[in-house]
Structure 1
Amino acid sequence: MCRLMGYLGPSISLDRLLDKPEHSLIVQSYQPREMTAGLLNADGFGVGWYHSQQETPPFTYKNILPIWNDPNLSSLSRYIESGCVLANVRSATPGLGVDVSNCQPFQQDRILFMHNGFIKNFRQTLRKAICDRLDDTSHQVIQGTTDSEHIFALLLHYWYQAPEKPLEEALHQTLTTLSELAESQQLEFSANILISNGKRLIASRFASHSPNPSLHWLRDDPTLPDAVIVASEPLFAGDWTTCPESSILTVEDDLDIQIRPI
């Protein structure tokens, strides 16, 4: 069960999100507080960010090392600044390899995607069912073996069908499809998802069972004014709000927050 974090606001150095908070993702990698499965997040990590001044595809940095063992992250995170950042630490689902191709965030065009959760016995159950629903363009996005990347491909499939609609519509369709497929095979799954196009953050807190994996958000904290953070666990003491179960949270570019039930 991974831990994830998204930031939208004024451009800041990455270390203010990844390293400096007392319960940063680095700490959550070895001492998580709200995980419902697993003990550590030591199977790699990834960071994605958008250029603060140019309309370019996002950048990513990934490694299969535990985040606390990466020798380059500290220097990079002090140097890089961005107003939209997604990051995660990974706890690999058993049977899904520890490989860079399986590290998140996944990226296509200007979209970054992260998934915290699992599909039970994915390779034996829903992998083929998901692939059968994908158009060729979406299917070619898949480079690794994880349930997470297949969910990303399914989201892209729905988004490509109606790119004029907001991403949360494609996310809603994706979660509905997963629910139907899982119910048909009486499977457990969970899908806390965080996506961005550099201008907005969209997140889901969703699972086939309760309690759903944890998800919280914080807006306009005194230490990070005019910004929103969405995270699996609070990064520091503050006025964090728990996202309702079975819901989609949208953070607009003006930081307006909308929550809709699934």
Structure 2
Amino acid sequence: MCRHLAVLGHPEPLGATVVEPPHALFRQSWAPRRQRHGTVNADGFGVGWYAPEDPVPARYRRAGPIWADPSFADLARVVRTGALLAAVRDATEASADGEAAAAPFAGGPWLFSHNGALTGWPDSVAPLTALLPRADLLRLAARCDSAFVWALVERRLRGGEPAGRALAATVAALASAAPGSRLNLLLTDGASIIATAWGDSLWYLVADGRTAVASEPYDDDPRWTEAPDRTLLTATRTELAVVPLSPLSSLPSLKEPVS
């Protein structure tokens, strides 16, 4: 389910990566090439981006398919940015949450997306609600599994944890509570990208002053590389590192930032 993408690079229109490439996220909404679960991503979409000298991102989200929104076509043509996160959604189950369930989720400088599903949702992860204050549960943006995953990640970020550790710890907790879950998480603050590959595809490209991390390549550039499953990826505009997340017991008790 779902496809997502984060890009850091020189300022350019949103459409340069989200719409125009031959296998862009726009096309992945109806014809993904490497999607292992689900076939059509038409249950909503969203794009978040950063403007110069403003650390808080803007978002545009809708409940319907990306191809059916002429307003987004105009935005994608003229809005320029050097950092974005975008996603097209294939809902795990039907809900009335509408665009509130569409990534990217946001908090402070962060944009977040979850490509995957929690096995046994919501019963399997009910014990993890103890990790969140009741007020955070009441503030959930939507009743879907991805919104809950974001709440867990955001709680750690607001508590001062480095982003890599926040994602790694969240994946560890969810995988333990709901074995078999697919937990590809994607996070950016406009200066870095942090992602996990856990149960679904994750690719990256660092070239020509641009870093792209995506569920699948948006073109046929041979420099795209697939991240191994059970790994954590951290990247800037010029550097990228991939480290193992599995087995969970090998994690250094999540006491140090993963870089």
Same fold (TM > 0.5): yes
**What's the CA shift for 1:39?**
1.3
Q: Secondary structure at the match of 1:36?
A: coil
1:168 aligns with 2:153: no
Matches within 5 A, 1:247-262: 247-252=231-236, 254-262=237-245
Aligned counterparts of 1:140 and 1:258: Cα–Cα separation in 2? 36
Matches within 5 A, 1:110-259: 110-126=109-125, 128-136=126-134, 138-161=136-159, 163=160, 165-182=161-178, 187-206=179-198, 212-220=199-207, 225-238=208-221, 239-252=223-236, 254-259=237-242
In structure 2, the CA distance between the partners of 1:137 and 1:167, relative to structure 1 (3 Å rule), is farther
Aligned counterparts of 2:216 and 2:55: Cα–Cα separation in 1? 30
**What's the CA shift for 1:258?**
1.2
Q: Secondary structure at the match of 2:209?
A: strand
1:6 aligns with 2:1: no
Report if the CA contact (8 A) 1:8-1:229 is conserved: yes
Show structure 2 runs of 5+ residues with no match. Answer: 246-259
Q: Secondary structure at the match of 1:131?
A: helix
| AA of the residue aligned to 2:228 | P
**What's the CA shift for 1:98?**
5.4
Aligned counterparts of 2:108 and 2:102: Cα–Cα separation in 1? 17
Let me know the Cα RMSD of the aligned residues. 1.5
Matches within 5 A, 1:22-171: 22-51=22-51, 53-97=52-96, 99-126=98-125, 128-136=126-134, 138-161=136-159, 163=160, 165-171=161-167
Show structure 1 runs of 5+ residues with no match. Answer: 207-211
**Per-residue Cα deviation, 1:191-229 (whole angstroms, up to 9, x for no partner):** 1111011110001001xxxxx211100111xxxx20011
**What's the CA shift for 1:63?**
0.6
| AA of the residue aligned to 1:156 | E
Say how many residue pairs are matched.
244
Report if the CA contact (8 A) 2:97-2:142 is conserved: no
**Per-residue Cα deviation, 1:114-151 (whole angstroms, up to 9, x for no partner):** 0000012312321x223221134643541211111111
TM (normalized to structure 1)?
0.89
